[in-house]
Amino acid sequence: MKVTKHIENANGNTLFSFEIIPPQKGKNIQELYDNIDPLMEYNPPFIDVTTSREEYIYIDKGNGLLDKKLTRMRPGTLGICASIKHKYNVDTVPHVLCGGFTKEETEYLLVDCNYLGIDNVMALRGDAMKDEQYFMPKAGGNCYAVDLVAQIYELNKGKYLHEVMDIDNRPDFCIGVAGYPEKHLESPSLTSDLKRLKEKVDAGADYVVTQMFFDNSKYFEFVKRAREMGITVPIIPGIKPIAVQKHLQVLPQIFRIDLPEDLIIEVDKCKNNAEIRQVGIEWAIQQSLELKAAGVPVLHYYSMGKSENIRQIASKVF
Ligand code: FAD
């Protein structure tokens, strides 16, 4: 079922959902299931599965030279979506990227999604690769998420890249896109970024999931400005609990987000990671309760594959 239909059916009640990342290549999928199992008690109507960018690795040839190879360390997004969908009878949302894919490869991926009964896709540009300063699309690939949304939207109408198919099994994907309450790191201003978000919605996006934020006022302001700009689709807040000291440095560095002073003070008081995890859980509970009281459609948690902190939050919020 479509994410938007789940929201409609909830009649104003806030739903619980989360996002997982595929295991590293070679790792068993059981660990993923072990982390999903405890969260199923909170009835997520959908689970997102991320897609990782490809990256360069250097293989020692043993003769003093290195072989540069392009590889994906966490493949398997679609396979995981299919296996979770059937194991738990829950909708899954594969993240589909512009980066690293030609439009044809994206089309084949979407055809697979359709055959697997996947009704939702999250359309994203993807970040620059680790070795690159700026995002570079693959030759023949989509440049921005808006282009990918347009491709999916056309496919929903039976328009493939090179053919128009008047067929009985036309896909009807519900399309999610990313939004940034503290603006995307490459964007010159929040207003400019919101205009880009509006373009994605005008191109066919059905809902927005936000980047993580730790100060709810940033989300409320973002939604207000989005509504003023004419963006009417659901805007789902993304929540990530702080879990380790390093998060204080890496989250602002990677995502260009601010952490509230009170949260920093609480984390700095902690003597070990167990205490920091608890602070992160408490903070996320308070954030979630306020957002739920404000009537957000869904609370979407970034689990990063580990569920115990998310389970503790959900037990207090749902
Ligand atoms: P876009 O909407 O294309 O925007 C990218 C930048 O370009 C913005 O600064 C925007 O303002 C600007 N822009 C947009 N259109 C134009 C235009 N026509 N001309 C000029 N500038 C323009 N990354 C992954 O690799 N895998 C994932 O699974 C993944 N999941 C995510 C899930 C969520 C909920 C979020 C919020 C992010 C996720 N990301 C993921 C990260 C995302 O790929 C990066 O943030 C990426 O840098 C931007 O993606 P986007 O889809 O927002 O891009």
- Cα of 145 to ligand 1 centre, how many Å? 6
Residues noted as catalytic: 19
The answer to whether position 263 is within a domain reads: no
Q: Which residues pair with 56 in a beta bridge?
A: 70
Domain presence at residue 310: no
Return the C-alpha torsion angle 201, 202, 206, 208, nearest 10.
10
Model confidence over 132-183: pLDDT tens digits? Answer: 889 999 999 999 999 999 999 999 999 999 988 877 778 999 999 999 999 9
Range of the domain at 48: 3-240
Pocket of ligand 1 (CB under 6 A): 50-51, 53, 95, 97, 124-127, 144-146, 178, 184, 186-187, 193, 196, 200, 209, 211, 238
| The pLDDT value given to residue 171 | 93
Closest atom of ligand 1 to 145 CA is 3
> How sure is the predictor about 130, in pLDDT bands with cuts at 50, 70 and 90?
confident
Strand duo 120-124 + 15-20: pairing? unpaired
Q: Is residue 275 part of a domain?
A: no
Tell me the pLDDT tens digit for each residue of 23-61: 999 899 999 999 999 999 999 999 999 999 988 889 998
d(C-alpha 73, C-alpha 52), whole Å: 7
Asked, for residue 39, whether it belongs to a domain, the answer is yes
Q: Whose CA is nearest to atom 9 of ligand 1?
A: 187
Any bridge partners for residue 175, and if so which? 121
In a domain, 12, yes or no: yes
* 291 assigned to some structural domain: no
CATH number at residue 102: 3.20.20.220
Residue 66 CA to ligand 1 centre (angstroms): 32
- Does some domain include residue 256? no
What stretches of 10-102 show up as alpha helix (H) in DSSP? 30-36, 77-88
Ligand 1 pocket test, candidate residues 196, 197, 251, 304, most atoms within 8 A of CB = 196
For residue 227, is it within any domain? yes
- Rounded average pLDDT over 66-88: 94
CA nearest ligand 1 atom 47, residue: 127
Number of separate domains in the chain: 1
Rounded to the nearest angstrom, the distance between the alpha carbon of 315 and the centre of ligand 1 is 32
How far apart (Å, rounded) are the C-alpha atoms in residues 224 and 181? 11
Residue 164's pLDDT is what? 85
